[in-house]
Structure 1
């Protein structure tokens, strides 16, 4: 690739700054992933729509020659994500076979029934905020809330949840080595095998038990069930953690929009605008063109790793005033959760959690402000998602 290719991450630059450059670099942008692996990243609504077309792009790594012929080495850190044989990396009938099982367990009714529990978790976390002038909202609220919700949903005991979070951070970090990511994947897989055994012996009112019951007809292997647990639990909290952090920053940067949300009970619109304005998903892994293809005027050879950016909502070709945070923006055809057969399974849960979390936080602490300038906030160094690592806030600011 040319000298204009943007490295992800770029040394000496925050990951957020790198993605801001990518969003301004064109509709589909050549990038260099960790380890010097070339890829393309679709950032416009038009380009992302093409990449999400299953007739043009496939998900299974067998469609990427570089993963098979040695051009991408066996110890490439991102192989923990690209090579996993879970639902996200399957196509066609293989994908449908897995998806229909989780769909039977992960029902809209089950998600809607979680609302009281999510509200209870949000209230408990806020009740236990440290009694200090300044707190870190990430460690005290926006991380433990989605972790507890998704782990409660799947029947993971509270004392085992921190280890799942630690493994996840290792797997998604671009600073982890190949050996570290593979070790974390293996350890997490072993944990999920053990969780399945527990739920077979003592089923409960949780999604893991429901998944086992739903699987009676489909005969998925334990390996396939573990892959499903890994995918849904990891994706089910990591993206929401960062979405909440990004939304709090956006609301404090736009106090007029926060005031409207509170006065008009517009929290569902806040969530949709946060998804549009600064989606936590910045590199949805990974698609491969089935043949040489031209996307938004850019030629992409068959099999080239191609990602799409959740920030397509910032596309000025699609959205008027794309750089303005405004809860009145049109949110139809929102691509933050994808499109088609791979549309995010957890979208209803993420929306529900985020609405409750933001409404509860700003109802309890209407004077909450950021304790540092936004330019001083440090962001996670991850390949797929971006959000603040820490978010110092003052809960009862006099300003």
Structure 2
């Protein structure tokens, strides 16, 4: 096992000490696991299941609607299907045009990432996890209209605590957890409402008002972006940095920045920030020869499907062949992917620029334990001595 694979294995086991080895031990592409559901680990079968919206839905027992509808309401993309989903996705599309996304990210993170380059070149050792959290907090402040001073570490921890209530074996929140999650979102919603009323199109609520969304629609969508999108990005960036440092690709990327797109795609394939996707069977069907009954919970193991092509190798065509399966497929392909990719490019570019001037290495790392989204608690990056 390579160094990169060893660390990725540690990260996954720390996050899910029971579920990860259990799913990794499954030998067949599709397996019915008592107490969990039908588990799919083959990339091709995962894609075909995602595309078959007549048989498999995000609405139903054990599906995303079980998690998000009680918290965010019934209309936030994460928990929708059919014509309503298509219409909302079309209405949201202007929020993710290249020009709007680039302006949003560069205005939010351009200066802090330039400072990151200079700090690393000066010899400062930085915690990439803390940096990623800081950048996410800045992005949230711009997204919602919060003052940046309000988005400190405690704020970020409260936001990400919402996802900690969910596990593979506990796919919905208890009444107490739901109350706590609603308390967390109440503050965000209040600021989102104020930003909506102010109508400043530099904020997402203001932009949504200009696009004809109601205040309630704006509040729900912003809540979904903050809760569902923030933690995956914060988990991914430090894991990507570790992959590049361990494999020697950070130095290579610094010398050949034109390789950044293939490097990011391969890192996304290997890491797959959201290791599973959930569906509920809404019709009797089959997946790879396995019978699936109406009402069955279907667990799509995207981490295992993407990793079926072996270890980290940006020069291969592994990532290209998967057609960005880590972002989903078909009508539910992640609408926020352009925003995430723009943020990733900016942060990676800043670190690669520092590497070009002063070679870097990961000096210390600590995986996060028992979290929904696997990642590191700390990753220290500094000058190579």
TM bucket by the smaller chain?
A: 0.7 to 0.9
Asked if the contact 1:46/1:296 (under 8 Å) is kept, the reply is no
Q: Counterpart in 1 of 2:194?
A: 198
Q: Counterpart in 1 of 2:383?
A: 396
User: SS at the partner of 2:190?
Assistant: helix
Matched pairs, number? 354
Mapped partners of 2:374, 2:348: distance in 1: 18
Mapped partners of 1:234, 1:188: distance in 2: 10
Query: In the TM superposition, what whole-angstrom CA distance separates every residue of 1:190-249 from its partner, at most 9, and x where no partner exists?
Result: 224322431243222221101122125xxx4x4433221111122332111111111111
2:162 to 165, 168, 171: 171
User: SS at the partner of 1:371?
Assistant: strand
Tell me if 1:207 matches 2:204: yes
Asked if the contact 2:205/2:218 (under 8 Å) is kept, the reply is no
Structure 2 counterparts to residues 256-275 of structure 1, below 5 A = 257-265=249-257, 266-275=259-268
User: SS at the partner of 1:173?
Assistant: helix
Tell me if 1:136 matches 2:127: yes
Q: Counterpart in 1 of 2:282?
A: 290
Unpaired stretches in structure 2, ≥5 consecutive residues:
1-11, 168-172
Query: TM-score, normalised on structure 1?
Result: 0.78
Name whichever of 176-185 and 200-209 sits farther off: 176-185
Q: Counterpart in 2 of 1:367?
A: 359
Query: TM-score, normalised on structure 2?
Result: 0.80
Give the drift of 1:315. 4.6
Give the drift of 1:94. 2.1
Tell me if 1:187 matches 2:183: yes
Mapped partners of 1:121, 1:273: distance in 2: 26
| Residues 29 and 164 of structure 1: CA distance in aligned 2, closer, same or farther (over 3 Å) | farther
Q: Counterpart in 2 of 1:70?
A: none
Mapped partners of 1:168, 1:301: distance in 2: 36
Q: Counterpart in 1 of 2:8?
A: none
Greater RCO (CA < 8 Å, at least 6 residues apart): 2
| Residues 282 and 262 of structure 1: CA distance in aligned 2, closer, same or farther (over 3 Å) | same
Asked if the contact 2:266/2:314 (under 8 Å) is kept, the reply is yes
User: SS at the partner of 2:383?
Assistant: coil
Asked if the contact 1:101/1:211 (under 8 Å) is kept, the reply is no
| Residues 306 and 156 of structure 1: CA distance in aligned 2, closer, same or farther (over 3 Å) | farther
Tell me if 1:303 matches 2:300: no
Mapped partners of 1:169, 1:59: distance in 2: 22
Mapped partners of 1:147, 1:307: distance in 2: 31
